[in-house]
Amino acid sequence: MSVLYGVISIVALALVGVCIAVDKKRDIYLLCMFIFVFVCNLGYFLISVSKTVEFALNANRVAYLGQVFLPFFLFMMLMGICKIEYPKYLPKVLCGVSVVILLIAASPGVVTWYYKSAHIEITDGTTFIVREHGPLHALYYVYLGGYFAVDAFIVVRSIIKGEIVSKLHAFFLMAAVFCNIVVWFIGQLLPRGFEYLSLSYITTEVFILLLYGILQEYNFMTKNVPVAITVPENNISPTVPTDELGDGQTVEVWDDEDSNGELFTPSDIERMLAGCETMSELTGRERDVLRRILSNKRRKDIAFELCVSESTIKKHTSSVYRKLSVRNRLELFAKLKQYMR
């Protein structure tokens, strides 16, 4: 079995390289998750080849270093994928909690808080730690259970609200979260002999890589190349995405990759939203879409930012136009600009 742990560790290390190659945006939480999966599996391998209790407990600490921080990195990664805003202090607080749990889990051999006792047994050349749980061991289950519950809530909420780019996106997101939950519970019911989470982590990484591949392919396919338009002087903008104009508009198009296409500043947008008397008729999501329209973003880019389909943004845009009694972006810009004065 130690050979199997060794192979899994090598695969986990290889997936770190795959992650670096696939993740063009360099998501630090994604990279840390892959690194700590390797650390965790390395710990399992070192336990399996241990010859003394002291070495086994040190290897167990390495495994827990990965296990404790993995839920934190997965949670932060999901928050980013689902575009959920959070306070700036949240990662620091959660990281602090993880450090406390790690210190408790690493205490065997020093104090009896986590394990009352521990010794090793060697079966068919593979070493196992035989342990008796201490009074603080339940904290680790609470820690994992809390993250599992919150991760599941984030995924289900995003699916119910339609904040998912595609059904395939939803499938991989669900698989990445629920795979670990199911395997962990199964592992608690089976006789202790193999760390099934070692395989679960690898499976989760594959789902995550596929998910990031889908999202980034979607992003590259819909990447905005700002488009310029020549309009009469009484119109307010020289740069409006062509796919958002009304019928019959004449456009002059050129590529300008250095331009961000911004139309109104954030303060301008908030003044317009605050001054418009019909703004109360818009839902929260419609206001989110409107803010991005006023920033002159294309429908495809708005869909990617909000993690929803382009058709969903089209429906929100139509609803915004109907409630504000305009037919296209030019009329929308002209109507709302008056509230900047």
Alpha-carbon distance of 49 to 70, in angstroms, equals 24
pLDDT reported for residue 216: 60
243 close to 225: Cβ distance less than 8 angstroms: no
Is the pLDDT higher at 92 or at 248?
A: 92
- Note the pLDDT tens digit of each residue in 199-233: 888 888 888 887 776 666 554 433 333 333 334 44
Is the pLDDT higher at 20 or at 235?
A: 20
pLDDT reported for residue 262: 57
The structure tokens 């488009």 sit at: 227
Question: What is the end-to-end Cα distance of the chain in Å, rounded?
Answer: 73
pLDDT reported for residue 104: 96
Q: Which segment of 43-52, 74-83, 181-190 scores lowest on mean pLDDT?
A: 181-190
Alpha-carbon distance of 305 to 288, in angstroms, equals 10
Closest CA to 94 of 73, 123, 119: 73
Instruction: Annotate 271-339 with three-state secondary structure.
Output: HHHHHCHHHHHCCHHHHHHHHHHHCCCCHHHHHHHCCCCHHHHHHHHHHHHHHCCCCCHHHHHHHHHHH
* Banded model confidence at residue 107, pLDDT cuts 50, 70, 90: very high
Statement: residue 249 has pLDDT above 50: no
Cα-based angle 126, 129, 135 (whole degrees, multiple of 5): 165
37 close to 205: Cβ distance less than 8 angstroms: yes
**Whole-number mean pLDDT of the chain?**
80
Stretch (H or E) spanning 37: helix 28-48
Q: What is the largest CA-CA distance in the chain?
A: 84
For CA atoms 48, 53, 58, 60, the dihedral sign is positive
Alpha-carbon distance of 178 to 208, in angstroms, equals 12
Q: Which segment of 49-63, 109-123, 216-230 scores lowest on mean pLDDT?
A: 216-230
In the DSSP assignment, the letter for residue 118 is E
Statement: residue 74 has pLDDT above 50: yes
Residue range 303-324: average pLDDT?
Answer: 87
Looking at the DSSP bridge assignments, the partners of residue 132 are: 117
Contacts of 122 (CB under 8 A, 6+ apart): 128
